[in-house]
Amino acid sequence: MGHAVVYLVPVGAKRFELYSEPLDESHGPVRRAGIWHRLSQRLHERWHDAVRAARRDQSSASLWLRMREWAVRRTAETIAEQRTLWTLRHCTRAALVHPSDLSASRAAEERDRVLAAARTHHVRWFVFDTVALVVSGLLALLPGPNLIAYYFLFRLIGHFLSWRGARQATRAAWDLRGEPALAELGRLAELPRDDRASRVDAIATGLNLPRLAAFFNRAAVPARS
What are the residue boundaries of the structural domains of the chain, listed by start? 3-219
Per-residue confidence band for 10, with pLDDT thresholds at 50, 70 and 90? very high
Burial 122-143 (b: 16+ CB within 10 A, else e): bbebbeebbebbeebeeeeeee
Whether the CB-CB separation of 111 and 190 falls below 8 Å is answered with no
Give the span between the Cα atoms of 71 and 206, in whole angstroms.
33
Strand order in the sheet with 3-12: 15-19, 3-12, 93-99, 173-179
Across 133-148, average pLDDT: 66
pTM: 0.75
Residue 139 confidence (pLDDT): 63
Residue 27 confidence (pLDDT): 41
Give the span between the Cα atoms of 54 and 72, in whole angstroms.
7
Strand 173-179, strand 93-99: pairing: parallel
Helix (H), strand (E) at residue 212 = helix 212-219
Residue 31 confidence (pLDDT): 47
Per-residue confidence band for 199, with pLDDT thresholds at 50, 70 and 90? very high
> Which residues does residue 8 pair with via DSSP β-bridges, in sequence order?
18
Contacts of 184 (CB under 8 A, 6+ apart): 199, 203
Across 201-217, average pLDDT: 93
